[in-house]
Amino acid sequence: MKNAFVFPGQGSQFVGMGKELAESFSSAREVFEEIDNTLNQNLFHIMTCGPEYELTMTINAQPALMAVSMAVVRVLEKDFGISLKDKATFVAGHSLGEYSAACAAGVFSLADTARLLRTRGDAMQKAVPLGVGGMAAVLGLSYKDVNALVEACEDNNSICVAANDNSDGQVVLSGHMAAIDKAVEIASEFGAKRCVKLPVSAPFHSPLMQPAAEVMARAFMNVQANPAQIPLIANVLATPITNEKEIIKHLVEQVTGSVRWRETLEYMHNQNITDIYELGAGKVLSGMIKRGYKDINTASACTPAEVEELAKNL
């Protein structure tokens, strides 16, 4: 048996996440309290009580999702005596989830990870004025086949890139709103089943995020980083790394670069990973794994019952 642990990204958040964990485990409450104190904000109240629009704001969603993921990790460690470094062959995270993975692997402290994600969320939101950029999910086209659509939507005034290669038949585009609107309009001509705009406030993982990448490069200068105790599969590489300087370099590149998630899962599969567990809110990543790899066991862990079940399996 070879295990990997993956961590969700933006879009997996929901009002109420982390509430049951905090009620059941003091170790989870400690995580939420430390993050609240670090950010000087009652983020846990927003996570558990809403309002939803406030939780969905990038500046809140990013540290909030990391908080739930790390609460699960802490409960496994403190309450069930399970250390990820003893059980994991790899860790990986989708977009902001890569920060959760790095924290779980011991690269950054919990407080520094919260500060980094608060900075990242703020910088990504400010990089492009509201309404200038957007994102759209293309269903029914492979990463290779979507390139023709991308080229048709780009021109001298509009950027359009494949931002997330999530799975066979699901690629997310990012760029100027004019290009995204055009993609939605003409995608069927290129063989797509559907192309739908996403409810996001900025064109993440596109060259338009360069100002945010520069902010993050500066932010990492103020952070203590350690080698990863578990090999981390970087979004922009789809291969594992442990050197902390390399991890930081690729986290900066990730702001404007593509999330190579399909290749990340493919790499794990080729390395004979038998079980992949999603730690944190939602079931987006475990759903992708179930659809793409019938021979890999997968489960998500967010509630006390799910964490207890995971602990039994480990």
**What tokens appear for 161 in the block?**
């890139």
Residues 147 and 228 in one domain: no
Residue 107, domain extent: 3-127+208-313
Torsion sign across C-alpha atoms 51, 54, 56, 61 = negative
Measured CA to CA, the distance from residue 303 to residue 309 in angstroms comes to 10
The active-site residue out of 27, 205, 206, 300 is 205
Q: Which residue, 200, 228, 256, sits at the end of a domain?
A: 200
Decide if 95 is catalytic: yes
Residues 295 and 269 in one domain: yes
Q: Rounded to the nearest 5°, which phi and psi values hold at 232?
A: -105, 125
Decide if 269 is catalytic: no
pLDDT tens sequence for the chain (314 residues):
899 999 999 999 999 999 999 999 999 999 999 999 999 999 999 999 999 999 999 999 999 999 999 999 999 999 999 999 999 999 999 999 999 999 999 999 999 999 999 999 999 999 999 889 999 999 999 998 999 999 999 988 899 999 999 998 999 999 999 999 999 999 999 999 999 999 887 899 999 999 999 999 999 999 999 999 999 999 999 999 999 999 999 999 999 999 999 999 999 999 999 999 999 999 999 999 999 999 999 999 999 999 999 999 99
Measured CA to CA, the distance from residue 200 to residue 243 in angstroms comes to 32
CATH number of the domain at 25, please: 3.40.366.10
Residues 194 and 218 in one domain: no
CATH number of the domain at 190, please: 3.30.70.250
Measured CA to CA, the distance from residue 105 to residue 92 in angstroms comes to 10
The active-site residue out of 12, 69, 95, 174 is 95
